[in-house]
Structure 1
Amino acid sequence: MAPCLPSDKLTTDTLIIGAGPSGLFTALLLLRYGISDVTIIDKYPIRTLTGHASGLQPRTLEILHTLGLKSQFDINAGGVADTAFWAPKDQDSGISRASAAPEVTNPTIYKRLIIQHQGRTEEVLNAELEKLGHHVKRPFEFLDYEYTEDKDHPVCAYVKDIARGQVQQYHCRYLIGADGANSVTRAASKIESTTHETSDSWLVADCAIKTDFPNIRRRCAIRTPAGNLMLIPSPRNTIRIYMLITNKQDLQDLAASKLDDLPAPLFKETQGRTRTTPLEILLKRLPPILKPYTIQITHIDWISKYVVGQKVIKSFTDNRNVLFVGDACHSHSPKAAQGMNTGIQDAYNLAWKLALILKGRANPSLLETYNSERCHIANQLIDFDTKFAKLFGDQSALNSGDFEKTWKEAQGFTSGLAQEYPAGPLVVPLPAGAASECPCPLIPGQRLAPMSLIRHIDGYHLTSLDTMASLGHFNEVVFAGDISREPRKSEFRRLYEFLTSPGSVLTKYNGLPPEGQDGWLPDDIFSSPPLPLSSGENGKVMNLYVVHTASRFDVELRPDFELWKWNFFEDEGGREHRMHGVETDGPIRVAIVRPDGIVGMVRDGDGGLGREVHRYFGGFMK
């Protein structure tokens, strides 16, 4: 290890290695959750400018919505709303469309993927960091880490300032490896990965085209004897082409090529060059696959090659203070647009837990749930991707329906809308027989599906994504039915008085609103900017959120409901009650929704509710 000068011994609460989407998102969330001492480093002198990960799934869009960022990704974006499957019609006629279907089938307000290259994603996230007074330190290379006797900052990370050639020590409370599939942080931890047997070679290109292919603005899976493609409609008149390479000579040429990330010459040869470029392979293989349709590439923005094997790290932590997110944890093929989305959801699961621990509000053991929950999802992803990749490349069954069937069965998982965390301290299963048949059931471990509501106090029409901003707060959501009529009126009043009493979890963990404030302020994306640690409002860790079916004109919130007046919402006609499986004339139902939008527990508002809610939070809160 190179010597470190005393002046180069630095401290930080959280050191993040890698400034790809998952690292940037982790940093941004921690800052929004009130953790100001965050340092993020990256070995590259500039951020990604184009290419790489591109698809943002509906669940990721919901998350971006709660941050007030979703609209920024709409600018000049492409999209995928439908998927078409193409296969050979016969030996001579070329391909024909076998079927087509909507891309997103689960309930959500976002019925498509947004397609933006990774450069745009990093641009937006970097700009948000800079608004909060932070930026990525470049170029800094992570070398190694070790544990010390320092109780406050037990991890010592060795980092090289590449420009100065000097090694620095960062003493931190937590170290997060977000440095990609070839993670140096993971290698330093010596945590092994489980590797699956498949390993595919791919070409990927972002390009402008001219073509008579009729489905160019749909995602298309094209499987032919001449080769296999995945076409993704990108911004404007561009597409992303994924080409699976199986020809032995092409594989050898790819392995030898060093021009994998360059827009090589399109229409003229470079004199003296003896190696085949990825672009030349793409131009050679594309026409026979798309026959009888024609395609002309008019411009290349980005082209690359890569070999993908399915693997997942055996633990997302080193069982102490080092954690991993994104491709440092899992790698797989690009066909289902899962890499960046899974990394962002890793960060979304981790950041609120880490923020509560750093604030001294939760026990460090809470991080064990990050490992168990995200490992569960990653292993499901790898199992799906292994099967999906094998079927995609199976040349012996091009007209089989198995590939399309597998895609349809996995839509809830790949969109992120039906992923489910296993039972644990943060996910309490429903009592036996309590599940109901409805479009958006309240299932612990799954996300709370977005609701369209009317804010009681002012009549604003909002969604729950608007009103449950990502600020690191739990939401105790009460589906109350018609609170304007007896006996429900009295029943709800008793429940509300209990939930806001000195012995309730809301009071126990929140305390009281800041002095001079006549109630808790709303957590909507329009009026809840990130709050500094010194703010009294930042002492709040949970909200009461009341959804009722009464007319807002028939119930006055003041003075009885003054404390949480901003969080009462009218469910007009009881639609959201029915969508979520709650009978409007049945028991009042309460759902504990975690800061990452996941339902943690569902119970009826009877006499045992308080005891169970206290037990839930007592398992991890201080």
Structure 2
Amino acid sequence: MGPQTSYVDLLIIGAGPAGLVAAYWASEYGLDARVIDDKPDRVTKGHADGITCRTMEMFDSFGIAGHVYEEAALDYQIRYWRLNAEGRLDRAQSINSQAAGVSRFQQCLLSQGRIEELLEDRISRKGRLRVERDVETLGLTLHKRDDASAETHPVQVTVRQRGGGMGDENVEIVRAKYVIGADGAHSWTRRQLGLAMRGEQAPHVWGVIDLVAVTDFPDIRQTCVVCSEHGNLHVVPRERGMVRLYVQLDGVSLGAAGLRSEATLETILAAARKALHPFSLECARLDWWSVYQVGQRIADRFSVGGCVFLVGDAIHTHSPKVGQGMNVSMQDSYNLGWKVSGVLKRQLQPHVLETYETERRPVAESLIAVDQETVAFYAARGDHVATRDLQCFRERHYAFLSGVAIQWYDKGSALVYAPSAIELATGIHLGRRMPSYRVINYADARPTELARKLASDGRWAVILFAGDLRKAVQLRRLEETCAALVRSRLLRAPGSGKLVTITASPRDGLPLTGLPPLLYGGENGQDRDYDAVFSDEPDVYGAFTDVYAKCGVDGEKGCLVVCRPDQHVGFIGSLDDVPSLNTFFTGIFRDS
């Protein structure tokens, strides 16, 4: 008897952070999906740890940000140490780790294994999706897609469950409509597709250690860049009292070829102690250690055949210096997952999948460029160190490193409406993530973060900046807008859209029931929703956010803003311009 054949909408290969974010979208959309991983267990120690504020915003949209914050080490300040005029290691500079006001979340550090656990727990709540571990992938074949059949499963992946012998009874042929390869830098999926990684290997070798340190170095619980005559060191605080040390091994004796395989734990610790001299360093508890040589590469392509996609380290590799590996990898899946899911649910047209590479490749290219400069900065020695200014370096790259300035508009994405009237909301950037500000619930005066209404639930959000509704002419405009929205392409597709309204007038200026019923009655105008209309007014204690001013919206006229399921702004227009909104959605959504 031959291998059994099964059919699935989506197969995700790899259950690291990138694979699990893709799995989150699959569970949220209720897809028939599977997640397989060749390792018997999830990561428990080491690997990635940095979490940017934009990733925290994504976690918040998943409902796990609070759990991360409870355990993570928050990163508020960076210290720069180098030799002073007397040749002694001294603190030369202190800067903020994060620019003021960039996000309501602070960047932080928590182990990759714990992030994976939190994501997996969140996914399991839906009850349909679980990670299948210790599954070996044997072969991948792309069959010609029959465009006339929605049931076509063009990707064939042969797998075997380890631990049960080598017979056919443990081999399975999985036929999938789409496959996402999230299987790391040595991606099996990428190799099966015949895609190459282009780039170079930098001549820098670094050791990395997670430990509980006993030291008289005063900044051991802060992020530090230490540049000494004996080599450089990067100090990163971690959860549970640990610290991560990135130790430069260039120039350290590593055998005749200087290979990273020659490095030992003792080699790394000795180099760290030299870099920190005259401060002492002892290891009270060792958690994990490794050695890496810096390599910066990007894959030829991010997808093949319109049905197999790669995310994360499978398409870009770099050093861990910029703290972006896990973040950018998860953001790849955050960008791709809702698009694949929307296509599989027959909400979105298949061509939207082309936007994955057009939107994410520039991010990968920028990442490599920033990483190259960062590695050179951290590896500088001797006279070069005196000319290095950490503040200038961070300011030059912070917008990218934080993740909040990633923008799709300038690449002409089909999912960002280029004719948008961006002048109507000068504080909102078309193609960037929608900023969150505190608004006041119209029904009960409760302060609420706008982002809470943009949770990653698969729906597009139409944000109506309704303006000052105490004026009859503005209320009539809003009523006309609502009448047009009822007939719009978005609201005709059940479960695809949600409305969020923010007035520039106070709650007492017009009762909730004086507003168009569509705004507080759900999609069908019948079920009351007391959590969909908000006012830009002070809270009951007098604190005023002034959302209209921050978003650059005229309080007299208002405007209409549309956020994609990944919280990026896809459209900006006037309240009267629902026809343009329909044009935008006509190019995205399938016919009902």
Does the CA contact (< 8 Å) of 1:106 and 1:412 recur in 2?
no
Aligned position for 1:57: 52
Answering whether residue 15 of structure 2 is matched by residue 31 of structure 1, we say: no
Q: How many correspondences in the alignment?
A: 561
Report deviation, 1:106: 5.6
1:602 deviates by: 1.2
SS in 1 for 2:320: coil
1:72-111 alignment, distance < 5 Å: 72-90=67-85, 92-93=87-88, 95-105=89-99, 107-111=101-105
Alpha-carbon distance, 1:320 to partner: 2.0
1:339–1:286 Cα change, 3 Å: same
**1:103–1:111 CA contact under 8 A, matched in 2:** no
Tell me the secondary structure at the aligned position of residue 381 of structure 1: helix
Give the deviation of 1:376 after TM superposition.
1.4
C-alpha distance in 2 between matches for 1:428 and 1:106: 30
8 A contact 1:193–1:312 mirrored in 2: yes
Give 2:547's aligned amino acid.
E
**Contact conserved, 1:106 with 1:418, CA < 8 A, in 2?**
no
Q: TM-score, normalised by structure 1?
A: 0.86
The residue that corresponds to 1:266 in the other structure is: none
Residue 129 of structure 1 and its aligned partner are, at CA, apart by 2.8
Length-normalised TM-score, structure 2: 0.90
Deviation per CA, 1:52-99, whole angstroms, max 9, x where unpaired? 111111001001111111111123321211112222113632x22221
* Contact 2:503–2:536 (8 Å) recurs in 1: yes
Unpaired runs of at least 5, structure 2:
147-151, 521-528, 539-544
Matched residue of 1:176: which SS? Answer: strand
The one-letter code of the counterpart of 1:576 is V
What is the correspondence of 1:297-376 to structure 2 with a 5 Å cutoff? 297-376=283-362
The aligned counterpart of 2:399 is 412
1:591 and 2:523 correspond: no
Partner SS state of residue 105, structure 1: coil
Matched, 1:582 2:553: yes
Residues 144-223 of structure 1: pairs in structure 2 closer than 5 A: 144-149=139-144, 151=146, 152-164=152-164, 165=166, 166-196=170-200, 198-223=202-227
CA shift in 2, pair 1:252/1:214, >3 Å = farther
Pick closer, same or farther for the CA change 1:127–1:590 going to 2, 3 Å.
same
Residue 410 (structure 2) pairs with residue 399 (structure 1): no
Residue 64 of structure 2 is aligned with which of 63, 66, 69? 69
Instruction: Tell me the residue number matched to 1:499.
Output: 485
Q: Root-mean-square deviation (CA), in Å? A: 2.2
CA–CA separation in structure 2 for the residues paired with 1:433 and 1:483: 23
Summarize the alignment of residues 213-612 of structure 1 with structure 2, pairs less than 5 Å apart. Answer: 213-250=217-254, 255=259, 257=261, 278-395=264-381, 396-401=383-388, 404-421=391-408, 422-429=411-418, 434=423, 441-500=427-486, 502=487, 504-509=488-493, 539-558=494-513, 560-565=515-520, 566=529, 567-572=532-537, 575-585=546-556, 587-606=557-576, 609-612=577-580
C-alpha change, 1:554 and 1:431, in structure 2 (3 Å) is closer
Counterpart AA for 1:23 = G
Residues 189-222 of structure 1: CA distance to partner in whole angstroms, max 9, x if unpaired? 1122221453532211111012222222221111
| 1:617 partnered with 2:572 | no
How far 1:575 sits from its partner (Å)? 0.8
Q: 1:124 aligns with which of 88, 97, 118?
A: 118
Q: Is the 8 A contact 1:195 1:311 kept in 2?
A: yes
CA pair 252-78 structure 1, distance change in 2 beyond 3 A: farther
Change in CA separation of 1:571 and 1:237 when aligned onto 2, cut-off 3 Å = same
Query: In the superposition, relative to structure 1, how do residues 610 and 111 fare at CA in structure 2: closer, same or farther (>3 Å)?
Result: closer
Describe the SS at the equivalent of 2:133.
coil
Secondary structure in 1 matching 2:423:
coil
- Following superposition, the deviation at residue 598 of structure 1 comes to 0.3
Identity of aligned residues (%): 29
- Output the amino acid matched with 1:82: Q
Q: AA paired with 1:417? A: V
The answer to whether the Cα contact below 8 Å between 1:592 and 1:600 also exists between their aligned partners in 2 is yes
| Cα distance change, pair 488–432 in 1 and its aligned pair in 2 (3 A) | closer
Partner deviation per Cα, 1:96-139 (whole Å, 9 max, x = no partner): 22211111116344452221111111111222233222221121
The structural deviation recorded for 1:256 is: 6.9
CA pair 10-91 structure 1, distance change in 2 beyond 3 A: farther
Supply the distance in 1 between the matched residues of 2:417 and 2:394 (Cα, whole angstroms).
30
Structure 1, gaps ≥5 residues long: 258-275, 510-538
8 Å CA contact retained: 1:473, 1:541: yes
- Letter matched to residue 582 of structure 1: V
Give CA-to-partner distance per residue, 1:333-371, whole Å, 9 cap, x none: 111110110111111111111111001111111100011
Q: CA deviation at 1:444?
A: 1.2
TM-aligned CA deviation for residue 248 of structure 1: 4.9
